[in-house]
A = this chain, B = another copy of it.
Amino acid sequence: MTIHELDTPALIVELDILERNLAGMAAYADKHGLRLRPHTKTHKSVAIARRQLALGAAGLTVAKPGEAEVMAAAEPPELLVAYPTIGARKLARLAEIAKRTRLNVALDSMEAAQALSAALVAAKAEAGVLTEADVGLHRVGVTGAHALAQLIEVVQRLPNLVWDGIAFYPGHIKSLDEDGLAQIESLSETVAALADRFLPRIVSGGSTPTWAHSHRIRGLNEIRPGTYVFNDRNSVHIGSCEWEDCAASILTTVVSTAQPGQVIVDGGSKTFSSDRMVDGASGFGAIPEDWSAEFHKMNEEHGFIKTERRWRIGDRIRIIPNHICVAVNLHERVFGVRGETVEEAWGVDARGKLQ
C-alpha cells in the first residue's frame, strides 16, 4: 500500500526518522550512564514501547492507571506512574499491576502515600515511591528540602512502600537560548543539593526540550523524555531538534478551494488538537511543501490555510502539528511509512485512557 491510498486525515510516521530518534536517545543515555525511562504519553503504543525497551530503556513512564494497564503488556523492567494517583479504585488498579510488574509511583503528598500504602497492603503487593519535588514549574511537587525530607520520612515508615528516590519535571524550561541554559544551570544546583542530602537510588527528571543537557544536571541519573520519538513544530521552534527529526506528520486532503488565497483541508481541532505554540507563535502546524503557507485557523474538521500556491481539490498536504502528543491521542491508527510505502500500521493502544 502507498500513502496515496490512505484515507485522510492520516497520522503518518517516517520509520527511518523514528528509528534514528529512538537510537539517538538510547545512545545518549548509554553514553552518560543515565537510566532512560521514556514517557509513553507521546506514542501510547505498546509496539513502540517494545522498541524502546529493546534498545535498552530501563523502564517506561505513564501518567494514569489506564495507561499503566496498557503498557504493562510491553513488560517493562520498571513502570513509573509519574502522576499523583488519587482515589481508592485507581489505587486498587495500580496495586493489581504491582503484583506482576515492578511499579514506581511519583507522589507529592502524605495523603497520596498513605492511600497507596493501604491499597498495596490490601492487595499484598509492594511499590517503589519517587517523592516529587517542585523545581520551578509550580505544578505538582513539594517545595524545598525540608518538605521533601518530611515526605520521604512518611514514605519510609509506611508499609509496602519502598522509597526509591526523587522525581521532578523541569517543564518551566521551554527554550534552549541563553535564559534556558541559565535555568538548566540553576536546576543542576537544586538537584545536586537534593541528591547529596538524601542519597536516593533514582533521581528522575528531564523532559524532551532539555534532554540533551541532562548529563550536565549533577545528581540526575534517570531521564523520561516522551516527545523525542516523533518531535513536532514546538520541538523545532525551541531548538531541541531540526525539521528533519520530525518523524510524524498528518496527511490531509484539500477539500475546498472556494475562497481565493485559501485552501480548506480535512483536519481541524479533532485531528491536530487546538494546542497553540508554547511561546505564543501563531499557527497550528508547519507545511514543509509550502513553507510560506499559514495554517492560521481551524474548526473541528476544517483546517484553514492561507497560501499563494495553487493547490487543487484532492491534493494531499502533509502538516507537522504543533504538539504531537495531543494529536496522536486523537487518532485510532498510525501508519509507518518509508518513502511512499506504508510498511506497517499500529494502534494508539492507550488512546483516551484518562482514568
Cβ of A9 < 8 Å from any Cβ of B?
A: yes
Specify how many copies of this chain sit in the oligomer: 2
CA distance A274 to B321 in the complex (A): 14
**B171–A299 CB distance below 8 A:** yes
**Assembled-state Cα–Cα distance A342/B225 (Å):** 39
Partner of A138, one of B63, B139, B259: B259
Give the A interface residue count (CB, 8 A): 64
Given contacts A138-B262, A139-B264, A270-B326, contact A254 B302 (CB under 8 A): no
Q: How far is the CA of A9 from the CA of B253 in the complex (A)?
A: 34
Query: Please, how many angstroms separate the alpha-carbon atoms of A314 and B329 in the complex?
Result: 26
Given contacts A109-B313, A139-B304, A313-B112, contact A86 B331 (CB under 8 A): no
Alpha-carbon gap, A210 to B5, bound state (A)? 39
Roughly how many angstroms separate A255 CA and B134 CA in the complex, as a whole number? 15
* Contacting residues of chain A (253-286) with chain B, CB-CB under 8 angstroms: 253-259, 262, 264, 266-267, 269-271, 273-276
A108 at the interface (CB under 8 A from B): yes
Does A7 belong to the interface (CB within 8 Å)? yes
Query: Contact flags (1/0) for A319-353 with B, using CB distance below 8 Å?
Result: 00000011001111000000000000000000110
Q: Which chain B residue shows the least CB distance to A138?
A: B259
Chain B residues in 8 Å Cβ range of A314: 86-87, 111
Q: Which 9 A-B pairs have the closest CB atoms?
A: A7-B355, A140-B256, A84-B255, A111-B313, A63-B301, A86-B255, A332-B352, A274-B275, A274-B274
A-B contact pairs, 11 of them (CB 8 A): A63-B300, A85-B255, A111-B314, A138-B262, A139-B259, A139-B302, A143-B258, A143-B259, A269-B275, A270-B329, A271-B354
Chain A interface (Cβ < 8 Å from any Cβ of B): 5, 7-10, 41, 63-65, 83-87, 89-90, 108-109, 111-112, 134, 138-143, 171, 253-259, 262, 264, 266-267, 269-271, 273-276, 299-302, 304, 312-314, 325-326, 329-332, 351-352, 354-355
